[in-house]
């Protein structure tokens, strides 16, 4: 669970789960944390929070829906570091898109979700792969999936489909990057109490609570430990795996 000397990049780290992951990496003694976010106010706030806690942190903007922005981000990381040890692909579109049946989802929203959640994850891995290959400790990639893709959450088809794609992508990338000593794993949280899920109806929230083996709300800190583990030395021979972290709402 120690990340000493590791340089970690986290997308969507401006708030919610991403910020919790950044704080967890700092607490695990990461050498440096690169905060990536589309919102500069959120990103700078997280980086400042980390620095005030004694960690080395920098905010670099990125729009996961824009390939040129991802390339610029990777170039900016390269000017600071000659390698990267870990990448957490947390950034995604999740807020305010639920509640519509598959028949009511508009094509523009579908494409936007796929562009950010799926293509953005792939392009971020592609852009940072050279720096991950240069890691002297073995690179680590952790993709954020969702347990919605495991139980087939209704009225959320675009998001569920995007996270199902991330799970499949994780397995394929694990085989392609394994020869480079880079592990690729995915975490599938349940409904986490963060800003991005504030819009979720109470009925869906209670459906999760009552259906869990551990019947309580899920918080960001519940997901931090597994992510930090997968970024560290202890997970050096764990790859291509999906880890549901949802209090037993679904079993993998």
Q: Has domain 7-245 been given CATH number 3.40.50.720?
A: yes
Residue 158 · residue 215 · CB < 8 Å: no
- The span from the CA of 26 to the CA of 228, in Å, is 10
Q: What is the pLDDT of residue 75?
A: 98
- The candidate with the shortest Cα–Cα distance to 88, out of 246, 226, 250, 244, is 226
Total count of residues recorded for the chain: 252
Residue 182 · residue 231 · CB < 8 Å: no
Q: What is the pLDDT of residue 204?
A: 86
Q: What is the pLDDT of residue 95?
A: 85
Please give the backbone phi and psi of residue 78, each rounded to the nearest 5 degrees, phi first: -65, -30
Active site residues: 159
- Per run of 10 residues, the mean pLDDT along the chain (length 252 residues) is 95 97 98 98 98 97 98 98 98 91 97 98 98 97 97 96 98 98 97 85 89 94 97 97 96 82
Residue 195 · residue 184 · CB < 8 Å: no
Pairing of strands 57-61, 86-89: unpaired
């Amino acid at each position: 669970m120690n990340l000493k000397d590791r340089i970690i990049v986290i997308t969507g780290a401006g708030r919610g789960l991403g910020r919790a992951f950044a704080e967890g990496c700092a607490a695990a003694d990461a050498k440096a944390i690169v905060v990536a976010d589309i919102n500069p106010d959120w990103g700078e706030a997280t980086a400042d929070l980390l620095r005030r806690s004694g960690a080395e942190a920098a905010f670099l903007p990125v729009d996961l829906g824009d390939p040129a922005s991802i390339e610029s981000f990777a170039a900016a990381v390269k000017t600071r570091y000659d390698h990267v040890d870990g990448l957490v692909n947390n950034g995604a579109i999740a807020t305010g898109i639920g509640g519509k049946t598959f028949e009511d989802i508009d094509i523009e929203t579908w494409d936007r979700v796929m562009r950010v959640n799926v293509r953005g994850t792939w392009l971020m891995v592609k852009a940072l792969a050279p720096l991950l290959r240069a890691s002297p400790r073995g690179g680590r990639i952790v993709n954020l999936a969702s347990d919605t893709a495991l139980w087939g959450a209704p009225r959320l088809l675009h998001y569920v489909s995007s996270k199902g794609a991330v799970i499949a992508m994780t397995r394929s990338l694990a085989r392609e990057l394994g020869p480079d000593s880079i592990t690729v794993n995915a975490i599938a949280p349940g409904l986490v109490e963060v800003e991005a899920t504030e819009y979720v109806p109470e009925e869906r929230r209670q459906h999760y609570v009552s259906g869990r083996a551990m019947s309580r709300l899920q918080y960001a800190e519940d997901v931090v430990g597994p992510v930090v583990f997968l970024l560290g030395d202890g997970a050096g021979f764990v790859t291509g795996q999906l880890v549901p972290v949802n209090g037993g709402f679904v079993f993998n």
